Structure 1
Amino acid sequence: MDVVIIGAGVVGAACAYYAARSGLSVAVVDSGPVAGGTTGAGEGNLLVSDKKPGPELDLALLSTRLWQELAAALPGQFEYEPKGGLVVAQDETTLKALRDFAEGQRSAGVVAAEVGPDGLYDLEPHLAPGLAGGFHYPQDSQVQPAQAAARLLAASGAELYLGEEVTEVLTGPGGVRGVRTARRELLAPAVVNAAGTWGGAVASLAGSDLPVLPRRGFVLVTEPLPRVVRHKVYAADYVADVASDSAALQSSGVVEGTPSGPVLIGATRERVGFDRSLSTEALRRLASQAAALFPVLAGVRVLRTYHGFRPYLPDHLPAIGPDPRVPGLLHACGHEGAGIGLAPGTGVLIAAALTGAEPPLPPDPFRPDRFAEADR
């Protein structure tokens, strides 16, 4: 075995897929099922619209191209939908801020087209009246995240060990030599920590440190509807919530239809540890903000809600690549709410690090030891 990947979410699956395509033999181990953590609680967003110029946007643009390639290579297997995104502004002040934001994004390769008040309703006829305008992002797209993880794992041909918690990362004088579960040892000269929200605990098992924290989020799921929402639609304040460091409850309207009919409504963020209790305040805010964007949803039934934990790192960038403190240990976690979108680019960076190939973009901004350097 060349590499053991801890985590069977979409990031671990992408790492397995690209490592196998690079000629490596791969095993994937997870304490639960495929997509049993953050991936299974995600909406499947593949977004460039919410990212400012910088390393994360570069990784998102790379991943956007790779998702297109994956959709062509595995047609129809994970509901890839290049439907585009629409960011809307309530007033002229907010629209100007969006205009400045989009201008910076265009310099990095993002396609962003301003849409006037009348044009908004051509794109989304059921939007609330009186909006000042917005921006259309045709590169935004969508997948069904659990299916994406499962299909990538299957296509990788990796050995899969589910329901087996890693209790020890085995190390020796030369560094990593595999992992141990209650049932077996999996020996390999490289271990990839793709454990998502639990990435910090896995790093500790290997004698390293990664300050991953959980950031809880809720999603509402409506009854099946005709396609009343055509794009990924969200209010401009969502961008600020994504970049925020606040631990308090934050919510901003994010609404999208699905091929099967239900409308998905997000998004909330709060740091409350691994508290899985239901927050009626969070759900109330989501319902209210969705109805403010799309009044037609005010009388629609919500069939269920679900929630999960985004793996948050203090600088809002994932940790991707080798950990110089533990030879043979690599990290691929801390993507917060963007892990599904950023998964293919992460997988390619990990495969390049494992094989010594030239990475497709500079990996230094994602160095896993950057937090230790900041502490020093």
Structure 2
Amino acid sequence: MFRTRVLVLGAGIIGAACARELAGAGLAVTVLDRDRPGSATTAHGEGNVLVSDKGPGPELELAKLSRKLWPHTLAELGETRASTVEWDPKGGIVVATTEQGARELAAFAGRQRAAGVVAEELDAGQLAAAEPQLTPGVTAAFHYPQDAQVQPVAAATGLLSAALEAGATLRTGCRVLGGHTEGGRLTGVRTTEGVLGADAVVNAAGPWAGELSALLGAPVEVRPRRGEVLVTTPMPPTVFHKVYDAGYVGAVGSASAQLRTSAVVESTKAGTILLGSSRRQAGFDAGLRVDVLSAIAANALRLFPGLGAATVMRAYGGFRPYVPDHLPIIGADPRQPRLWHVTGHEGAGIGLAVGTARLLRELLLGEPTTIDPGPFRVGRAGVMVEGDT
């Protein structure tokens, strides 16, 4: 029977980051994916590395840690590989378009500043200089210079390549069928390629982590949440930051299963412009809905009216790992020794990946943790599916 020290289930950006961190610590790591690395949720994201959308609390602390680690991580990848990641510390601008929205945004930014986030209020002149094509109908704007962006698949590939160079191994096209136990303890997984033994099994399956955890005998409450993005053809310089309406924060934090949309507009280094965002719970239904795409386009036009002349060349959607309390799950499962979960990041997984991986390594190796892991624990209320022990 094949055996490794750590078996990471999932080769998206979370799994890739964890594999790199653990292999770099000298552990024998095997990464397993049923498809190709980075081909699911990671490939359908915008690549955001954000602090602007998180209020004070544990997720913001994880975001701050990740934002601190990303430049160091890229430096360790080497200049050639890091260049493909398209790291762009362009900053974000959050705007309000109503008087009430302006008051709420100012209060939110104030709480963030108290928690260590840089949030700079912009007057009308400063905003026009930063984003010349933004609608003048803005009642408040705050600049977040810590916000950044990466190309998500390239970032995941770079992290995974670094893990392989550090000694990790990769198995693709291999599906997990269930847990393998000896003496009542989890000692690996049963797969379509046989039993793979491990001292620790890491569930990094993103939106499929709920299904996978059930197969492993310790279900956690992770469900898919659908999101769509429109992409324009390459354009002359039009949008210079990640710009979004303050309503985006409410959409992210909403518990509603119904459609929620908000205006999010940003460019890429290739010159295309990404238009988002939407959130809805539709299971694993991968169909694109015209009404959702229309709402996204309408929201974007309210912020940047000039985009009415843009050509949309494609639309895509993906699934994000949703947890009811909107916090990632990071840590050991109290019901199943040797099982660890790193999932539930919803749409923030790209940005939170390297901080999550650092916290997992510290927990797995019994090291002092950089931030408090308690809020992310598996055993918190609402995470473990009731009726399972």
Query: What is aligned with 1:205?
Result: 215
Q: Does 1:244 align with 2:258?
A: no
Q: Does 1:7 align with 2:10?
A: yes
Q: How much identity, in percent, do the aligned residues show?
A: 50
Task: Tell me the CA shift for residue 72 of structure 1.
Answer: 2.1
Q: Does 1:307 align with 2:314?
A: no
Query: What is aligned with 1:149?
Result: 156
Looking at structure 2, the residues matched to 16 and 174 of structure 1 have their Cα atoms a distance apart, in angstroms, of 27
Query: What is aligned with 1:81?
Result: 88
Q: Does 1:29 align with 2:32?
A: yes
Whether the 8 Å CA contact 2:378–2:384 is kept in 1: the answer is no
Q: Deviations over 1:198-257 (max 9, x none)?
A: 001111111111011111000000000122111000001001101100111110010000
Query: What is aligned with 2:51?
Result: 48
Whether the 8 Å CA contact 2:221–2:384 is kept in 1: the answer is no
TM-score (norm 1): 0.97
Query: What is aligned with 2:297?
Result: 287
Task: Tell me the CA shift for residue 374 of structure 1.
Answer: 9.6
| 3-state secondary structure, aligned to 1:276 | coil
Q: Using the TM superposition, name which of 251-260 and 290-299 deviates more.
A: 290-299
Tell me which amino acid in the other structure corresponds to 2:85. F
| 3-state secondary structure, aligned to 2:266 | strand
Query: What is aligned with 1:176?
Result: 186
| 3-state secondary structure, aligned to 1:28 | strand
Structure 2 counterparts to residues 178-327 of structure 1, below 5 A: 178-327=188-337
Looking at structure 2, the residues matched to 149 and 373 of structure 1 have their Cα atoms a distance apart, in angstroms, of 28
Tell me which amino acid in the other structure corresponds to 1:71. L
| 3-state secondary structure, aligned to 1:53 | coil
Task: Tell me the CA shift for residue 178 of structure 1.
Answer: 1.4
Looking at structure 1, the residues matched to 275 and 340 of structure 2 have their Cα atoms a distance apart, in angstroms, of 35
Cα RMSD after superposing both structures: 1.3
Task: Tell me the CA shift for residue 185 of structure 1.
Answer: 2.5
Q: Deviations over 1:82-122 (max 9, x none)?
A: 00000011133211111110111111110000111221111
Q: Does 1:341 align with 2:344?
A: no
Query: What is aligned with 1:367?
Result: 377
Task: Tell me the CA shift for residue 172 of structure 1.
Answer: 2.1
Query: What is aligned with 2:41?
Result: 38
Q: Which runs of 4+ in 1 moved over 4 A?
A: 372-376
1:95/1:275 CA distance change after superposition, 3 Å: same
1:111/1:374 CA distance change after superposition, 3 Å: farther
Q: Does 1:93 align with 2:95?
A: no
Query: What is aligned with 1:108?
Result: 115
Whether the 8 Å CA contact 1:120–1:133 is kept in 2: the answer is no
Tell me which amino acid in the other structure corresponds to 1:89. A
Query: What is aligned with 2:72?
Result: 69
Task: Tell me the CA shift for residue 375 of structure 1.
Answer: 5.8
Q: Does 1:350 align with 2:360?
A: yes
Aligned residues: 376
Query: What is aligned with 2:139?
Result: 132
Task: Tell me the CA shift for residue 176 of structure 1.
Answer: 2.1
Gaps spanning 5+ residues in structure 2: where?
none
